[in-house]
Chains A and B, each alone.
Chain A
Amino acid sequence: MPTPVHLSNLGPPGREHLRLLPPPSLADDARHRKLTLPPARVQRAARAVAEALFHADDKPADPARLDWLAADLLDFMARATGRAQLILRASLWALTWLAPLFVFTPLPLGWLPVGKRVLALERMELSPLGPAALAVKAMLCMIWFEHPDTQRETRTETSCLREP
């Protein structure tokens, strides 16, 4: 059996070795891709769900934060592969058009008052269409809870166990 050999003379493994992998230039930086955003109706559909999801204490969610959320979700979708976009858009479509049927109202979700939207989405979540509700809810929640104001309100500010 050949014996594994260690030929590296770079010293112990660690972040110091990263100097050998040059960071991407601005032109190669994935953050600076030119994006084709999904159409505005996708943003409207996401916002309609978010308004219901984050309606707390019978008060509407902060509109500025909802705007930020919807815009960031679109950025996420634009960077995702075709299949991810398909799943998220299909889920949003299901929430927009099928969720209202759970409250016997054949209208787009965004046309319903927020209270009725909440009821429709909660019923859909418990139905066999629950995974579609979860897919959208997961994306909205993940982004929403990254907002500094949400973190402050929910006492979930990012922190490490030890100081770096």
Chain B
Amino acid sequence: MAGSLQSASRLDGELKLDCDVVVVGSGAGGAVIATTLAEAGYDVVVLEEGPHVPYTGELRPTESVRHTWRDGAVTLAIGLGDSPSINVTAGRCLGGSSTLTGGVCFRIPEHVLDGWVHAGLSELTPEKMAPWFDQVEQDVHVEEVPVDMRSRGTQLFGEGYAKLGAELKPMRRNTRGCNGCGRCNFGCAHKAKLSVDIAYLPRAVAAGARLYTGCLVGKVEFAGTRATGVSGRILDFDSQRPARAFSVRAKRVVLAAGAMFNPLILWKSGLDFPVLGRHLSLHPSFRVIGRFDTPVRGWEGAMQSAYGDRYERDEGMLFNSVFVPNGVLAATMPGFGNNHAKLCEQIDHLGIFGGMLHDDATGRVRRGFGREPIMTYRSSPRDRGRIPVLLRRMADIWFAAGAKEIFLPVFGAPAQTPDSMKHFPLEQVHGRKLECSSQHPLGTCQMGVDPQRSVVDDHGRVWGTQGLYVGCGSVMPSSLGVNPQLAIMTMALRTATLMAAEGK
């Protein structure tokens, strides 16, 4: 029997449901778990807080932000001490953050998996994880980005990188029929990016899953230590404020609300663990912009097409091709009025590349006022020390590529020439002056073998409970150092398959 997709905000009367499995969140983790279990014959209900927005291709980027991004893109992890505050982007719509990614698909690096095995997670070896990765890559159609899909900005960065003795490698993405419009973050205009709302959720519905948008889950309900369902509030359609109550009774509950919200739900449900909400990994990312004498028009081409991992293994630095809307580029140009306008005249001459840190997972999610958590981030001394190193390397690459000037992610800093860059006191710049972003909140409900040091076991089961699972990026036992959507989907597929094997 086919399932359904409904906006709970528009339903009349009480919403009380019964099912085998209720999945909280429809992003990369929740969608995979819901689909796998529905196809295995389970009666599945998926609850999503955000709306269904299948028409992002018709929207301007800022319209997409206001409809599908959490907090209108101003979600912030507050930097403590000398750490930068980090703008964290996350989705709030059917498909979750998978709808906002550049489509980048990395397998979890072997050295990261080796570390997990060393910590006791003996089933997560590269060999044992390979079939799960194979399956997800088939499900979401992972393919290599052809070289001719690279933007001019990426080509230039690659030329500079080559002059310093390394080669960019082609990204792999979950796409089919990409035209290189460079606006993946705002919803693919041609539905070529196979985010989970395209690759998984239709399968879930075909297999009988019931999807509800506009449902804000408050807590997990228990009978003793056994999870018996969830309860929460349906959001008023116009104001998006919590309104009527709803409840779902289920034999099993899966939390897939992400690293920011799973801890809140667990706390509200009366659960606590020594590490719950801790070890938030964000992969702090920095953009360095190069200005060239000739037009670059960096928005023409795949938004993310190539990467450089020369420094990933030993120093935890990954270079990722990226582009951002011209308005964001303009905002990063220093000044107002005439000074700003002169710099903006050169936007079509700018190339941009991202640098990402494989961080030590030193962030934290805390209970906030109302329904949103508070995130804080205190960089480890090692991470903090690597920021200027990363930025100088990226500046060197742009200059090697022929850039006349570069723009650092330092608030208000003027453009730097090769000479002025040598004397720029980057190492002395306070963290609050650094512009930093993250698209990868991970951890906070980590998987492990010790209830004192983790929240879930290696099957994704919450310690000390029955029938309660976590299945999204929040279970990652450590920072990954690479874009995580494939890792999230893979870990979710593994959890769901293990759940199905346990039987109804």
Contact = CB atoms under 8 A, between A and B. Distances in A.
B326 A21 contact: no
A77 B240 CA distance: 13
B300 A160 contact: yes
A15 B67 contact: no
B499 to A, nearest CB: 10
Given A8-B203, A137-B331, A28 B52 contact: yes
Interface string B483-500: 000000000011001101
A8 B190 CA distance: 23
A52 B335 CA distance: 10
Interface stretch (B17-25, B136-144, B217-225, B378-386): B136-144
A149 interface: no
A2 B498 contact: yes
Contacts of A39: none
A10 B202 contact: yes
Contacts of B62: 72, 76, 139, 142-143, 146
Interface string B308-329: 0000000000000000011110
B327 A144 contact: yes
Contacts of A155: 295, 347-348
B226 interface: no
Contact of A143 (B138, B237, B301, B327): B327
A2 B501 contact: yes
Interface residues of A, number: 82
B411 A125 contact: yes
A142 B179 contact: no
A41 interface: no
Contact of A36 (B2, B181, B198, B239): B239
Interface residues of B, number: 100
Contacts of A141: 327-328, 330-331
Contact of B345 (A8, A19, A79, A154): A154
A125 B237 contact: no
A63 interface: no
Contacts of A15: 176-177, 190-192, 198
Contacts of A81: 70-72, 240, 372
A153 to B, nearest CB: 9
A55 B344 CA distance: 12
B167 interface: no
Contacts of A5: 40, 497
A128 B432 contact: yes
A33 B72 contact: no
Interface stretch (B127-135, B275-283, B468-476): B127-135
A38 B75 CA distance: 20
Contacts of B123: 1
Contact of B128 (A1, A114, A151): A1
Given A1-B123, A14-B176, A17-B203, A158 B299 contact: yes
10 contacts: A4-B36, A13-B176, A15-B177, A23-B52, A27-B10, A76-B62, A76-B72, A122-B337, A141-B331, A159-B299
Interface of B: 2, 5, 7, 9-10, 36, 39-40, 51-55, 60-62, 65-67, 70-74, 76, 85, 94, 123, 128, 131-132, 135, 138-141, 149, 151, 176-177, 179-183, 190-192, 194, 197-199, 201-203, 205-207, 211, 237-240, 295, 297, 299-302, 325-328, 330-331, 334-341, 344-345, 347-348, 370, 372, 411-412, 432-433, 435, 493-494, 497-498, 500-501
Which 3 pairs across A and B sit closest by C-beta, in order of nearness? A161-B180, A56-B341, A80-B72
